[in-house]
Chains A and B, each alone.
Chain A
Amino acid sequence: MSATTAIVATGDSPSRRALRRFLQHRLAVFGLVVVVLFIAAAIAAPWVAPYDPIATSWTRIRKPPSADFWFGTDENGRDVLSRVIWGARASLMAGVVSVAVAMLIGVPIGLLAGLAGKFTDAVISRVADAMLSVPFLILAIALAAFLGPALENAMLAIAISAAPIFVRLSRGMALEAKSADWFEAARSLGNPPWRTAYVHVLPNIVPPLLVQGTLSIAEAIIAEASLSFLGLGQQPPSPSWGSMLNSAQRFLTQAPWMSIYPGLAIFVVVLAFNLLGDGLRDALDPRSQRR
């Protein structure tokens, strides 16, 4: 009882408490800072990148890292640092957009399954099972292959492959909500089903969606890099970390820096999203223990 009064006295709302828990989580804050830095670099690429990312030069082919070219130059004399900075655009956009699309597809369908129940639920759940039974990357590769190689298609392929996770998650949360008292109250006040779903259920399931969304972005960034590495994503000469690694592999002995830095960029940004996701989970769900 005393704990409750204390919270009321300081006027802490649940979101403030979540924010405080998040800020105490040093690794999560570190993840957030790194993510923000990468986003800033991607947006400001034209100004922060020291050179043109696609301008080739025959006089500076495969030069090792130096004061002029911090990350060295590639097989066409392009500055690797500038390409890594510009490549952040493709990777982050692919990560964020494909997860946003996956949520836009998955969440309404999942809510429908959970709230409608019966036959609708059975059909939707089996479709989600069917899609989840093809390993994520293989499904994305197959979709990207049939859609044709382009960054937009890779993003669409990743979004479709990631959608069933959000269907499952929001279905489960909707089922849980259905048995809550406030759900019954909202319904008995005469709210139509769609209103109950969007005004009452959706806000209650935002925290787990946010956590899953952040972790899914990490996975989507790796997936985009993988597809681009295979030549199914961003097309040359536009820079993307995956396609940079693809051409770098051919010069591994002569120019190892070409493959070190783009991969390091993927690793750091994915790690940051994972840390952020873990931190959000701990902050938003007080019941869960640290993994």
Chain B
Amino acid sequence: MIGWFLRRLGQVIPTLFLLSIMIFGLQQLMPGDPALIMAGEERGDPVVLAQIRAELLLDQPIWTQYFAWIGRVLQGDFGFSWRIRLPVSQLILEKLPVTLQLGTMAFIIAVVIGVPMGIVSAVRRDTAADWAANGVALAGISTPNFWMGIMFILLFSVELGWLPPSGYVPLSEDFWLSISTTIMPAFVLGSGIAGVLMSHTRAAMLTAMAQDYVRTARAKGLSEKVVVLKHAFRNALIPVVTLGAIEFGRLLSGAVLTEQIFTIPGFGKLVVDAVFNRDYPVVQGVVLATALIFVGLSLVADMLYMAVNPRLREA
């Protein structure tokens, strides 16, 4: 187990190193001179420009800039926002809980819809229920979630008036109000993932149901419910758990648009606003943070995989 963990870490570290080069390299794509952008009104003054260049190490060779940058990042310093003079790390830490709340709710919705649908669809293979479940999953995957968000606002806020169309109330302030402002975006965000989870659960269940131990369980007279849930599903869970952890990373991606539609002040809104304000350190910081979360999650997924599948532990 420890050997495995070290080997896995041996893969993660070069990946993170390359990732840091890539994210640092992003700013090289930027059109124009960053010093000019930062100088703003004072862009005509060569003294100010030289000062900014020296401050940002823009007058240094690129590898010096990289090492200075990565050194700061390793200490948790993601630089300063150009727009609002606040540390990027502080902005991210402020916005992340909002997105995590949204993401967790979306994930719960996705699991509650996707997994049972996958089981039913596998058990009732090639029946109307199976076709319907597949259709719903395919529709979920094919609907752009920002359009679904707009349609939900139209239906539930404009037409029916059941839920607020936008805005956000933190959980700590008012639990139920917070849930009512996030339930619609969470459903929108979760629906695509539900489709993915459904088709993977279905595939894993079909594989499990064809195994000898399922036949044995049936042969010894267990009820179909016990066979499906206790024998087949527990084994089908293995690939689903791994996938689930990785899909959670994808939620962060989807959150960008969902937060935009429902004006929820999270991580996604932060990056979009930063893009339009040409606040590049914030964009860089958000990309870095999501990548770190994603790498962390896939590590967790692999560990979960080991935990739920003891056969792998010896390897």
Contacts and interface: CB of A to CB of B under 8 A. Distances in A.
A137 B271 CA distance: 12
A189 to B, nearest CB: 37
Contacts of A260: 151, 154
A37 interface: no
A205 interface: no
A291 interface: yes
Interface string A129-166: 11101111111011111111000000000000000000
B144 A126 contact: no
Contacts of B14: 126
Contacts of B275: 141-142, 144-145, 230, 232
B63 interface: no
A253 B15 CA distance: 48
A137 B199 CA distance: 22
Dominant secondary structure of chain A at its interface with chain B: helix
A137 B259 CA distance: 14
A146 B15 contact: no
B145 to A, nearest CB: 9
A258 to B, nearest CB: 10
A291 B26 contact: no
Contact of B143 (A141, A252, A267): A267
B206 interface: yes
Interface residues of B, number: 53
Given A126-B14, A131-B22, A252 B144 contact: no
B19 A249 contact: no
Given A134-B287, A146-B27, A252 B252 contact: no
Interface string A234-267: 0000000000010011001100100110110011
Contacts of A77: none
Nearest to A272: B142
Dominant secondary structure of chain B at its interface with chain A: helix
A139 B158 contact: no
Interface in B37-91: none
Nearest to B261: A249
B4 to A, nearest CB: 17
Given A135-B249, A142-B26, A148-B31, A266 B294 contact: no
Chain A residues touching B, range: 35 or more
Contacts of B11: 126, 129
B175 interface: no
A253 B31 CA distance: 39
A138 B27 contact: no
Given A256-B154, A266-B144, A146 B254 contact: no
A130 B16 CA distance: 7
B228 interface: no
Nearest to A259: B150
A215 to B, nearest CB: 10
Given A141-B275, A231-B276, A256-B158, 14 more contacts: A130-B15, A133-B15, A139-B287, A142-B26, A146-B27, A146-B280, A147-B29, A225-B147, A248-B150, A260-B151, A266-B147, A270-B142, A271-B142, A291-B202
Interface of B: 11, 14-16, 18-19, 22, 26-27, 29-31, 134, 138-139, 141-144, 146-147, 150-151, 153-154, 158, 199, 202-203, 206, 249-250, 252-254, 256-257, 260-261, 271-272, 275-276, 280, 283-284, 286-287, 290-291, 294-295, 298
Interface of A: 126-127, 129-131, 133-139, 141-148, 218, 222, 225-226, 229-232, 245, 248-249, 252-253, 256, 259-260, 262-263, 266-267, 270-271, 274-275, 289, 291
User: Which 6 A-B residue pairings sit nearest by Cβ, starting from the closest?
Assistant: A263-B147, A135-B253, A130-B18, A271-B142, A145-B275, A146-B29
12 contacts: A141-B271, A142-B271, A145-B280, A146-B27, A225-B144, A230-B256, A248-B150, A259-B151, A266-B147, A267-B147, A274-B141, A291-B134
